[in-house]
A and B are shown apart, each in its own frame.
Chain A
Amino acid sequence: MNIYPQIKPIADIGLLIEFGQSIDISIHAQILAMDQAMQDASILGVIEMIPSYASLYVGYDPLIIIYEDLVLNLEVLILEIQKKQIKIQGEKNHWRIPVCYESKFSPDLEELADKLDLSTDAIVTSHSSAIYTVYMYGFAPGYAYLGGLPSKIQIPRKSIPIMGVKPKSVMVAGQQSLITTVTMPSGWWVIGKSGINPLNKGLEQPFMFGVGDTIKFEPVKECEFVRFVQG
């Protein structure tokens, strides 16, 4: 019996709709579908939705919407998305991001190659040949968690985080990759530098990626950090 999705309250501020307990593209597709359905329904009193790996967070104002009504609304939407046979919407973008993997920009590449018993070239080839999906944002503004890292270059994060990892660092840890947007401490492995910062503070829509977008990294030799192509 499928016990998901499950609605779990978070005090009087929100609730989580859990669609599973693992990082899985089919679970994530349901979350994207539910997120879209909720945006279309725009339920009064719902403040925001936050998609993540296995659950969708719904923040609401208890002074505007009654919790039981909200849950009823959500249950109807869940039935609708389940009937529709979920597929990832066509509106998602595919991005090609230039990355320079040269040693100047990849302080952890050598150590990673040692630990994985691979050449640095093999790591770069592997990292830049995969197609990644934006599963969620978290940790810091504009930090998009990208799933789809090839298993042969997966490695747990460092035991001690490094302070002051600069913006545009391309990092890997666990099953994920990520491009940093602001200077933050991090325990992930820095293997390159992106030509663009996915967070552009000056824009009205400062966040380049939508959750569900796909990304491919394009190795660049001379660090032509100027162009990116929206495919």
Chain B
Amino acid sequence: MAHFEIDHAGPLITIQDKGRTGFMRFGVTPSGPMDRVAYLAAHHALGADLGAAIEISMGGLSISCQEGQVSACITGGDFKITLDGEILPSWSIFTLRQGSRLQVQAGKWGSWCYLVFAGKMIVPTWLDSASTHVGSDLCGTPLSVGNIITVEDCYLPNLMTGQVFDPKLFKPQSQIRIVLGPQDHFFTSQSVQDLQNEKFILTKDFNRQGVRLNGPKLKIIHALDMPSEPVGRGSLQVPGHGDPICLLADHQTTGGYPKIATVISADQDKLSQMRSGDKIFFKVVSVEAAIVAAKIAHEVEHSFYHIIKDSQKSLEEKLWNSNLVSGIVSDINS
């Protein structure tokens, strides 16, 4: 068992696992990681499905190990990781021991990263998930200074510490694909054109529920009285101010604002990793193209998880044959 105390926590740092599906009909948002690909990558790097992770925002997190030892992995955006004063590359595996101090700070890009321990984090669950839903506080609240994190069944995998993957591949590009609708016909044709041809900027109104975008104001043709209807992740809903709001992991389950378009699933996590001030160009694609993109993304993610696993194996073998273990190597076979 290992215990950690939180010495510093920025806003919106929460426990997240795969989320809770199937309860939107009862008003329960799925929650889960803002960047599902990076979240899973950390588990693959550690060689097991370990359940919950700590989702770290740009506000950063510092923890100190009070007792025990455990390996851990951080994936996500390009964050700055400091372990006992030593700077590690983003997307690293490392081992935390009693007295270790880990600092994670916003780096060159990305809004979220995931800290996964090689063990089982003791966290409350609700409806089969440990994901904190910010707002309702139904399963925990955002982490804050003084909180203690306990990890059970700790292990130190036979893996090299250090970088598991160069995350450059995952740096978000400015092009985001969307499918129009279901209420694009409520908007002026000029607005539908603007959405595709003009630049939009992520504003500071950005949290786990959604992000407000700023660009040409999107205009509704006539005042409409639309009964609230279910909304999904990626929906671009447009309230009266004319700025689209892209709904993200903790979105409400229903809404009464018209949705001009929806971000395709393959691009949702990339958009979540962007930062306030980043620019977006939307590209309209068909439903069929969105589905093909989902399939391709699925294939790419799987090959990528294999690469992570394989690189760990070869590094491990390399280490067994060499004594060149420099400081940041875990206790092999301990």
Contacts and interface: CB of A to CB of B under 8 A. Distances in A.
Given A12-B290, A138-B252, A63 B295 contact: yes
A139 B265 contact: no
Contacts of A22: 227
Interface in B113-150: 126-127, 133, 135-138
Interface centre among B126, B234, B254 (most CB of A within 10 A): B254
Contact of A52 (B230, B252, B298): B230
Given A52-B230, A63-B295, A8 B182 contact: yes
Contacts of A207: 26
Interface stretch (B17-25, B194-202, B317-325): B17-25
A11 B234 contact: yes
Interface centre among B29, B233, B255 (most CB of A within 10 A): B233
Interface residues of B, number: 47
Contacts of A57: 24, 229-230, 232
Given A67-B291, A201-B126, A9 B228 contact: no
Given A52-B227, A182-B138, A138 B287 contact: no
A53 interface: yes
A142 B265 contact: no
B262 A13 contact: yes
A183 B234 CA distance: 26
A52 B133 contact: no
B133 to A, nearest CB: 7
Nearest to B256: A138
Nearest to B21: A47
Contacts of A49: 25
B308 to A, nearest CB: 21
Interface string B250-293: 00111100010011111000000000000000000001101101
Given A11-B290, A12-B291, A182-B136, A142 B26 contact: yes
B307 interface: no
Interface string A192-219: 0000000001000011000100000000
A41 interface: no
Contacts of B235: 10
A10 B232 CA distance: 8
B226 interface: yes
A204 to B, nearest CB: 9
A67 B179 CA distance: 14
B254 A12 contact: no
Contact of B136 (A13, A55, A140): A140
B107 interface: no
A8 B227 CA distance: 16
Contacts, number: 137
Contacts of A5: none
Interface in A156-174: none
Contacts of B85: none
A200 B38 CA distance: 34
Interface string B205-233: 00000000000000000000011111011
B291 A62 contact: yes
A196 to B, nearest CB: 16
Interface string B285-318: 0011011011100100000000000000000000
B178 interface: yes
B240 interface: no
Contacts of A183: 137
A68 B15 CA distance: 37
Contacts of B255: 138
Contacts of A11: 178-179, 232, 234, 262-265, 287, 290
Contacts of B27: 137-144
Contacts of A23: 227
B254 A52 contact: yes
Nearest to A143: B27
Nearest to B259: A10
B265 to A, nearest CB: 5
Contact of B229 (A55, A63, A140, A141): A55
Interface in A47-93: 47-55, 57, 59, 62-63, 67
Nearest to A185: B135
Interface of A: 8-14, 16, 21-23, 47-55, 57, 59, 62-63, 67, 136-145, 182-184, 201, 206-207, 211
Interface of B: 21-29, 126-127, 133, 135-138, 178-179, 181-182, 226-230, 232-235, 252-255, 259, 262-266, 287-288, 290-291, 293-295, 298
22 contacts: A8-B181, A9-B179, A10-B181, A10-B259, A11-B179, A11-B232, A11-B264, A12-B265, A16-B229, A48-B23, A48-B24, A50-B253, A52-B228, A52-B229, A52-B230, A53-B227, A63-B294, A137-B27, A139-B253, A142-B28, A145-B228, A183-B137
Given A10-B179, A12-B179, A137-B27, 12 more contacts: A11-B290, A50-B254, A57-B229, A62-B291, A137-B25, A137-B26, A139-B252, A141-B28, A142-B27, A184-B135, A184-B136, A211-B25
Closest 6 CB pairs of A and B: A138-B254, A57-B230, A137-B27, A53-B227, A12-B290, A11-B262
